[in-house]
Structure 1
């Protein structure tokens, strides 16, 4: 497993693309009106599918990157030194995985593909949401069993900017109006009751 400094030096040309595909996928998902009906698992799966689709398109014919799917998981081989997966992170920058031999091998930095030269460093690129479900961070992590060997923030500015037009505030104290109740005399007073 490569150390953080060495890994980032090799990955530098790819980091902006990784951050971009995650941001673009989440922004696209957020424009889907059906998202309100998705449970957390479905939302995570839909976002992951969008990320993988966008990453596959960006990295297609990119020298130094190969893409392979194994048992439903898409992996990106980067310069035959890294095996990258996209995932959603919790607040501790850990992933949720169904415990399978494949997921345990990946977390344990074991090789999943015979065609890759040893040693290969397994990495996750992923995102976190805040308590409101808004994108709060994009990170690269190097898992080592139940902990991360290292983490690296890919971006600090992740919000999609949406212009908002503000109207001038209405009067706070409207003038008193004359009101006539049915069958009563004219009464002056405030109608805000």
Structure 2
């Protein structure tokens, strides 16, 4: 009689986990966050509710895991900060890509849901910042420090404050929907910011 290989529980678990995360992203896009439920995620993923609650305490926690990159990911929204030696061109490239990402429903809906939920759930908010935002911001710090070493940014500039001058206006427009996000706006933000950062 042929030997039967025992089912691989870890592979089955990973398949279920991936199905749950994919279902959460699909449903938040279709239904919006207020109508997203654990029951709906379980039904879409083909698992029991108890399977979800075994791994996550809430729908927000599921959505965060679905939306967040791997903990060791080096990319910012899927794109690393380039260093061609031309700081203005590099920053424009990255901010334009960021605008494209923020204008995409695949990013916009989950990110807005997590941002809003993070206001009322401090633990989730802290996880959202540490897993998604902070790694991205640190890449700007690294790039700006390299520009300082190359003499393209004044030595007394604090890179952490400088990066806020770059990403703050983009985040403000996205969050409040005051005006459209565009490449032209991103370019203007870079140009105005660099006027204040470059050595006199």
TM-score range, shorter chain: under 0.3
How does the TM-score come out when normalised to structure 2?
0.25
Answer 1 or 2: which has greater strand percent.
1
How does the TM-score come out when normalised to structure 1?
0.25
